[in-house]
Structure formats: structure tokens, C-alpha cells
Amino acid sequence: MNLRQELTLSEIEGLIQEQADHISQTQLLSGAIPWYNNGIADPWDHVECAIALDASGRFEEAEKAYRWLRDSQNPDGSWWSSYVNDRPENLTRDTNYSSYPAVGLWYHYLFTGAVDFIAEMWSTVEKGIRFALELQQPTGEIYWARDTRGVVYPLALMAASSCIFQSLRCGIRMAKLLGLRRPEWIASSRRLARAISERPELFHNSVDSQYDYAMSWYYPVLTGIVRRQKARDRIFGKWSDFVLDGWGCKCVAEEPWWITVAETCELILTLTRIGEHDRAGLLLNWVLELKDDDGRFWTGMKMPEEEVWPPEEKPSWVSAAMIITLKDQTETRKPGGDRRGVFSRFL
């Protein structure tokens, strides 16, 4: 079945607003958006939720989320890796987390045209990107974090580095919007893209294991580093490793299999970017089956047991991934809409 034959645009919009309600209800008075009530908030997923709020037309709530980032930023431009009720929990400082606000704020501008707000947040963006670039190596890769003592973890992650590239490109666009030049960011983004494309041995799939993670597979394509035929070869070369027919995208290729909503949504965005619209619609049909009766989406499903996992966990960032994907699908269906989707075409 194909989504475009089943849901009308108004039904898709209703589903978007249903997921946005979940994120809004989770957001704290401070602006922070934890995974769920009394759960952790991490800067990357917080930004993803802010992007989803903008995509659903909730601009004031999105701005509140970005102001929380401004107010909680460390002096060196980083953020702690997680917070609970606005108090730092994990004191690792992640380069991907620190640069990602640039992506969210660029989309905020695209949705709202609010140049004044971008100017207000520019210092926050600039400091976050500078923190990340301090850990770039001569060969182009960017190490993933510093610990509580400031010691650098000497490894680069494929998915995180691809995302940092996206952050750099959004930061460069933002600087241009404000009449600023950041040639060093352009040079850094090119070195990073070259390393990802030509020196994959410089990168790891994860910090603490050798699992083959799906994000390391599709992120170089999703973020626009790998393009055209090379992108298609990359995606379809490992399709059977990561996609379980009738269900969606696995988190990792190895057993036990875990089909996850967020990874499936990101793979759908990736497929839209390379023009695989029917395949994207098919995956979306599959993953919509993981919506609970209360309207929220489970994190994923353990296979072959077909058990919801983790039980009772329906994070805000899963709703965010669904909103972003549905918004992208909406754009491809509009008369005269951009077939690359509302998100993919700006990356």
C-alpha cells in the first residue's frame, strides 16, 4: 500500500497536530523539551522537537525552546549531554549536540522569516559551532566530545559527523542572511565532507560498540554529502541489511532486531531526497502501525517477538521525527510542490 492513496492532506495535518500536542504537553515552563515527563532532555532531540513545533505552526513554543538553549549554553559554546528538570545530568560535551541548534534555527527562519530572532540567537549558534570545530582534525573528521575534565574522546562518529556537516551548512546560510562571512566554516565543512566521502576508515559507527548502526548508513545521504548515483548505491547496497519488509528500519543490522520509528522516519526522508517516493510512502505506511491508541508512537518494536520496546516509552522526539516526515510528505503531494520535500531541499 502507498500512503498517498490512503490519507488525505487534511488527515496528515491532523496527525501532525496530534503529535505536536504531545510535544507541547511535554515542554517544561523553562522551554526545555524532555523525552517524556520527568525524563531527560538532551540538546539534539530538544532541537528536533523545536523543528517539529515550527513544522506544525507552533512558532512561539519553538522560540521558547531555542531561548532555553541560549540560557543553558556553557561558556565554551557547548551544552551538557543531558538534563533532568533543567539540571545537568550527563556532563559530556558533544560536538554534534553543540552544533545542531544551527539546523533548527535555520528551519525556524525558513518557516517564519523571523530574521530578528535569528539575529537574537546568532551568538548562541556561533559559539556552538566554534566548540565543534575546535575538535576538527587535520584530516577533516571531528571528534565527538570532551569529558568533564576537558579531555577529548579521540574518535569521530559517522552519523554525528554527517550531522555536523549539515549544521555547518545551515550556519553558513544563517551568517549570509545576517550579512556576515564565515569562510573558515566553509573550509571546515568541505574538509569534513571530503573525509566522510573519501576516508570512511576515519569514522566509527558508535562510541561503545561495533554494531552496524542504520544512522551511519543513511546519514551521509540524508545530509547531502553523498549524492546522485553514489547515494542510491549506498542506500540500496545495504537495504536488505537494515529494512525488515512490512515493518520498517532496524536500529542496527545485527540481531536481535529492533524496528524503530525515528530511524524509519529518517530513512523515509532520505528516500524522498533521492527521489524514491513510492518506497518512502510504503515505509511510512508500515511505521504508522506503531501508533498507540492514545495517538503517540512507541519508540520501536522488538522482532521477531513483535513486542513493543521499550515498554511504555513514547518519547517526544519520536513524535518530532514523525511530524518532520509527514510535513515532508505533504510538500511532495501539493500541486507544484517540491518533490524533494520541505526539509530535504534545504540541506
Tell me the per-residue pLDDT of 57-97, one tens digit each, with 9 for 90 and over.
999 999 999 999 999 999 999 999 999 999 999 999 999 99
Pull the grid cell for residue 260. 524503530
Q: What percent of the chain has pLDDT over 90?
A: 87
Task: Give residue-wise pLDDT tens across range 314-341.
Answer: 999 999 999 999 999 887 776 665 666 6
Residues 180-196 have a mean pLDDT of 98
Element spanning 110, H or E: helix 101-112
Q: Is residue 168 predicted with pLDDT exceeding 90?
A: yes
Tell me whether residue 162 is exposed, middle or buried, using C-beta atoms within 10 angstroms of its C-beta: 0 to 12, 13 to 18, 19 or more: buried
The pLDDT of residue 21:
98
Sign of torsion over alpha carbons 328, 274, 3, 217: negative
Residue 256 per-residue DSSP state:
S
Rounded Cα–Cα distance for residues 320 and 297 (Å): 10
Residue 16 has pLDDT above 90, yes or no: yes
Q: Which three cell numbers stand for residue 17?
A: 497536530
pLDDT band at 47 (very low <50, low <70, confident <90, very high): very high
pLDDT in the model for residue 10: 87
Q: What is the pLDDT of residues 294-317, one digit of tens each?
A: 999 999 999 999 999 998 899 999
Contacts of residue 101, defined as CB under 8 A and 6 or more positions apart, other chains included, come to: 43, 47, 66, 69, 121, 124, 125, 128, 167
pLDDT of residue 33: 98
Confidence of residue 3 (pLDDT cuts 50, 70, 90): very low
**Model pLDDT, residue 1:** 36
* pLDDT recorded at residue 61: 98
Measured distance CA(169)–CA(223) in Å, rounded: 10
Name the E strands within the chain. 40-41, 80-84, 87-94, 145-146, 152-153, 156-157, 203-204, 243-244, 248-249, 257-260, 300-303, 307-308
Query: pLDDT for 87-136, tens place per residue?
Result: 999 999 999 999 999 999 999 999 999 999 999 999 999 999 999 999 99
Question: In this structure, what C-alpha cell is assigned to residue 331?
Answer: 510538500
Per-residue confidence (pLDDT) for residue 19, from 0 to 100: 98
The pLDDT tens digits of the residues spanning 205-255 come to: 887 777 899 999 999 999 999 999 999 999 999 999 999 999 999 999 998
State the average pLDDT for the chain: 93
**What is the spatial distance between Cα 329 and Cα 326, in angstroms, rounded to a whole number?**
5
Average pLDDT over residues 163-183: 97
CA distance 320 to 53: 8
Domains of the chain: 1-27+213-347 (no CATH), 31-44+58-204 (1.50.10.10)
**What Cα–Cα distance (Å) separates residue 22 from each residue in 3, 37, 43, 211?**
23, 11, 18, 32
According to DSSP H, which parts of 178-315 are helical?
183-198, 214-222, 228-237, 239-242, 261-273, 277-287
Q: Which residue, 273, 238, 261, is CA-closest to 343? A: 273
Burial classification of residue 208, based on how many CB atoms lie within 10 Å of its CB (0-12 exposed, 13-18 middle, 19 or more buried): exposed
As a dihedral over the C-alpha atoms of residue 255, residue 256, residue 260, residue 266, rounded to 10 degrees, the angle is -10
- Grade residue 271 by pLDDT with cuts at 50, 70 and 90: very high
> Is-contact 65 46, C-beta < 8 A?
yes
Residue 347, pLDDT > 90, answer no
Overall average pLDDT of the 166-192 stretch: 98
Tell me the three cell numbers of residue 258: 529492533
